[in-house]
Structure 1
Amino acid sequence: MSRATKPKPKRLLAIDTSASPGFAVIEYGGSKPASLIYTDAFPTDTSLSDAERYEVVRSATALICYKYGTATPFDVVVREHFIKGGSKRGTQLVFGGWAAVDMALRAFGYTIDSDNEIPPTTVKKAVGISGKATKAEVEQGVRKALNLPDDYVFPNNKGGDASDAAAIGIAYLKREGAI
């Protein structure tokens, strides 16, 4: 008679990519509900040059890969899909952030498959009431989906980047039927 083994939990890294990115590490699967392992945002100082800002983004991504994806590797890395910002400058900053994130991910053996880029309206619908959910509604939806206390405060979340990263992860997990 063979002994049934418990399914191992998986680990997801979700990134709200920009020149001031947000990150979330979510554990899911196994015998426990999805849980937030880590979330934070790294607002970069607009007085820095673009090269300096992108180095902060690359370094933050590398640190998270090292700290949360080395001993227990990420099973998937996801981010919000982005085509064009509200301005030429905004678009440049996001794509510069993407390049910085991609460099750090590759250094640790990770890539983001284009199938793992989630459209913003899908993210908002997954945790809010509609594709036009407010930042506060997204935050509350993330708290509910991950069983966080109502008063949970997302670190460095002034622009909503930390809670947005968690929402991106939740949207992916819902799409995949994992939660």
Structure 2
Amino acid sequence: MSVHERKATVVSYGLIKTNAKLSDGERLRELHSGILAILGEYPDIGSVIPIEDGIVRFNTATKQIAKARGVIEFSLADYQLEPINIASVKKWAREVTGVTGKDGMKKENVELAVKKYFGIDELRNNKGGDISDSMAVGIVYLKRKGVID
């Protein structure tokens, strides 16, 4: 994201994909390399990176997410990480979309809010909605810091 006149705009987005056939260690190495490549592509990224303060429900997923989170934090050791709770993200999404009740808590509402905020109809989101979640984390962080309205 980039900010101009107190409004965030999309610069680029995507996922770091790893090969599911590789061992955990090799996949974590791919994740680390991907993060370093992004940092190299955007050297003016700043010193603070907002990061979702994760919540997981399933044991197997928890282990995998914990491993990936460790690599992410290691890769970003030279940056200050600013945790953003997913509840804050969903609250922002409800404010943007006006969707309330159970529908306002759904992951799809975050994607809808991101599309509405940026004024885009299409978003190349992944099945799990991680791209829109990450974009929303960035927006909530910028709003919290008073950088955007």
Shorter-chain TM band:
0.7 to 0.9
Q: Quick check: which one's helix share is greater? A: 2
Counterpart of 2:86 in structure 1 is 120
RMSD of aligned residue pairs (Cα, Å): 2.1
User: What TM-score results when the alignment is normalised by the length of structure 2?
Assistant: 0.82
Q: Which amino acid aligns with 1:174?
A: K
Q: Which amino acid aligns with 2:123?
A: V
SS in 1 for 2:14: strand
Match of 1:87 among 58, 66, 69: 58
Structure 1: stretches of 5+ with no match in the other structure = 1-25
Q: Where in structure 2 are the equivalents of 1:1-179 lying within 5 Å?
A: 26-28=1-3, 30-31=4-5, 33-68=7-42, 70=43, 72-82=44-54, 85-106=56-77, 109-112=78-81, 116-128=82-94, 129=99, 133-147=105-119, 149-150=120-121, 152-154=122-124, 157-179=126-148
Aligned amino acid, residue 60 of structure 2: R
Residue 160 of structure 1: how far off its partner (Å): 0.9
- Cα deviation for residue 75 of structure 1 reads 4.4
- Indicate how the Cα distance of structure 1 residues 95 and 159 shifts in structure 2: closer, same or farther if over 3 A, else same: same
Query: Which runs of 5 or more residues in structure 2 are unaligned?
Result: none
Tell me how far 1:32 sits from its aligned partner. Answer: 5.6
